[in-house]
Amino acid sequence: MLNRTQISIPNLVRVKPGAIGRVGIYARRHAFSEVVVLHSSDLQMDLMHRLCDGLKAENISVLQRWPIKDASFEQARELFPQLPAKTRAIVGFGGGKALDVAKYVSFLTRVPYLAVPTSLSNDGFCSPQSSLTLEGRRKSLPSAMPFGVVIDTEVCLAAPEILWLAGVGDLVAKLTAVTDWKLAFNAAGTLVDDFAALLSDATVFQFIARPSRDLEGVRLLGTSLMLNGIAMEVCGSSRPASGSEHLISHALDSLGGPPRMHGLQVGLATYLVSLLQRRNSELIADLFDQTGFWRAIAAQPFSRAAWLQALRLAPGVKQDFYTVLSSRDCLPEAEEFLRADPRLNKCFAD
C-alpha cells in the first residue's frame, strides 16, 4: 500500500454558485500571479469572459489560452515545452478532455493545476490519472492531482442533462468497484485499503440521500465525484472507483462502435454487474428511476450484440485484476439478465 505521507490532495476546494467568477480571488490568495488556461475548444464565450474578468480584476495575468479539442498524449506533449517559464499555475477549464490534458501538462511541468469543470460527467476532474489517447488508443496515464478544485454549481446545473446522468452513472460504479475489490482480497489476496474503500462507498450514499438535479444536488454530486478521485490517490490504485463495470466499458470502447459517454456505459454496466454480484441492485435501480437514467438510456438503446461481445472480452482487459467476472463464466447469466430483466431489456436493441 502507498505510504500515506505521499498522498496529494487539493489545498483549495470551492463548490458554490458563481465560483468561476471568483477564480481570480482564489489564485491571488495562493500567489498564482501568472496562469495559463487550457480550455475546451467549444467552451461558451460567456463562461470564458467570466473566468478572465475575474482573473483580470485580481491582476492575474493570463499568459496563454489554449483550446483543447482532443484529449491526446500527443497534444499534451506538444504543449509541454510551450509553457511560459513564469507560469505559476495551469487552469483546466471546461469538459473532461481539456481537464485531462491540463492535468497531464501539470504533471509533466510540475506546475500547480486548478481544475474548473463546467460539467460533472465523471470523476476525472480530481483523480491521479489522465485519460488520453496515445497513437489513437485510449490510455490511463499517471497524472497530477489538482492543487485546487473549483466547481461552479450554477454552471454545472446549466450543462445538458445527459452530462449529469453520466456523472450519476460513474458515481454508482463505486458500489460494484468496492465489492469487486473485496472479492479480489478473498480470492487473490489483493490488499484492500479500508479507508479508501469506506470513503468511496460513503460518497455514493451521500448523493443517494438527495439525488436531485438542483444546486444542492449538483453540490453533492460534485463533492462525491471529487472524493472518489481522492480515494484513488489515498490507496494509489483505481480500485475504489473502477471494477468489472469499467472493464466492460473499456471492452465496448475497443470494439470501435458508435461512441457513447463513459458514464452512461459504466452506469448501465454497474447495474448489470450488481446483478452478477447479487448486491445493491435495487438500490442502483431506484437511483436510476429517480434521476431519469433509465429513461435516457432507453431513448437511445445500446447494441445487445456489442455488449455480449464486450462481456466476452472484459475479463481480459486488465491483467491480474480480479473481479466478479474472474470468479466464474458470467456470460450465460449476463445474457439472461439482458434479455429477462425488465429494466435492462428496454436499454438494448437487437
In tens, the pLDDT along 235-270 reads 999 999 999 999 999 999 999 888 899 999 999 999
pLDDT at 135 over 90: no
3-class state of residue 318 by DSSP: coil
* Residue with grid cell 450488481, as numbered in its chain: 274
CA distance 58 to 90: 16
Question: In this model, does residue 4 exceed pLDDT 60?
Answer: no
| Confidence at residue 282, expressed as pLDDT on a 0 to 100 scale | 97
Other CB atoms closer than 10 Å to residue 156's CB: what's the count?
24
pLDDT at 1 over 90: no
Q: What are the pLDDT digits (tens) for 11-65?
A: 999 999 999 999 999 999 999 999 999 999 999 999 999 999 999 999 999 999 9
CB burial of 179-195 (b: ≥16 within 10 Å; e: otherwise) equals bbbebbeeeeebebbee
Q: pLDDT digit string (tens) for 285-337?
A: 999 999 999 999 999 999 999 999 999 999 999 999 999 999 999 999 999 99
pLDDT score of 108 more than 80? yes
Q: Which domains does the chain have, with CATH numbers?
A: 4-157 (3.40.50.1970), 161-349 (1.20.1090.10)
Distance set, CA 29 to CA 5, 50, 305, 321 (Å): 25, 19, 54, 43
**Predicted TM-score of the model (pTM):** 0.94
Geometric angle at alpha carbon 236, from 233 and 240, rounded to 5° = 75
Instruction: Provide the 3-class DSSP secondary structure of residue 148.
Output: strand
The three three-digit cell numbers of residue 283, written as one number: 438500490
Decide if pLDDT at 5 tops 70.
no
